[in-house]
């Protein structure tokens, strides 16, 4: 007789303490038991879709592995053995980034200056970033005095060491 879960999560059958897997994900995972040890997890279309969804929500690979009911080492073995598994995670990550980037863009368009600043600094750092590249080439038209040369050397040292000189 199989015990039905009474809430939305139940403990995953793993050695990890307190690891919880959503019931709907647990039920969706196709497993096959070979006697002793953890059940084998087959990478199928259902697992690929779940992995993509989890990745699109910003979960790390470790978190995705836990939600799919597998350990980290098994997860990485599956990624190596099934290129479509890695691809589904990468597609999910790209979709998540696109969703958030679009939300920030929409807020910026509606006048949210924090969103606009964030968007421009990250999407066009050469134009709107905090750091600016300075190319300094000195071409004196006449010889510098000893005092001017020492001052120029100090300024150049400050610039190359990252100190501001005013």
The answer as to whether 45 is a domain residue is yes
For 24-54, what is each residue's pLDDT tens digit? 555 555 455 555 666 788 999 999 999 999 9
Tell whether the model's pLDDT for residue 63 goes beyond 90: yes
Predicted model pTM: 0.56
- Contacts of 28 by beta carbon, 8 Å cutoff, 6+ apart: 46, 47, 50
Residue with tokens 């421009």: 120
Q: Is 89 within 8 Å of 55 (Cβ atoms)?
A: yes
Task: Give yes or no: residues 76 and 101 share one domain.
Answer: yes
Residue 87, domain extent: 9-126
Reply yes or no on whether the pLDDT at 6 is more than 80.
no
pLDDT of residue 79: 96
Residue 107 resides in a domain: yes
Does some domain include residue 98?
Answer: yes
Task: Tell me: do 36 and 114 sit in the same domain.
Answer: yes
Same domain, 41 and 122: yes
Q: Is 106 found in the same domain as 152?
A: no
- In the chain the beta strands, taken as DSSP E runs, fall at 9-11, 20-22, 31-32, 40-41
């Amino acid at each position: 007789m199989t015990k039905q879960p009474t809430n939305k999560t139940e403990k995953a059958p793993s050695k990890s303490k307190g690891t919880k897997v959503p019931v709907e994900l647990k039920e969706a995972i196709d497993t096959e038991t070979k006697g002793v040890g953890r059940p084998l997890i087959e990478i199928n279309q259902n697992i690929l879709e779940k992995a993509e969804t989890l990745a699109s929500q910003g979960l790390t690979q470790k978190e995705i592995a836990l939600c799919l009911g597998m350990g980290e080492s098994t997860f990485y073995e599956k990624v190596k053995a099934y290129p479509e598994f890695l691809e589904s995670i990468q597609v999910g990550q790209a979709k998540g980034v696109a969703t958030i980037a679009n939300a920030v863009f929409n807020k910026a368009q509606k006048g949210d200056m924090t969103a606009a600043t964030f968007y421009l600094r990250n999407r066009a750092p050469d134009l709107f970033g905090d750091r600016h590249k300075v190319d300094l080439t000195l071409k004196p038209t006449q010889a510098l005095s000893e005092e001017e040369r020492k001052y120029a050397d100090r300024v150049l040292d400050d610039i190359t060491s990252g100190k501001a000189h005013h």
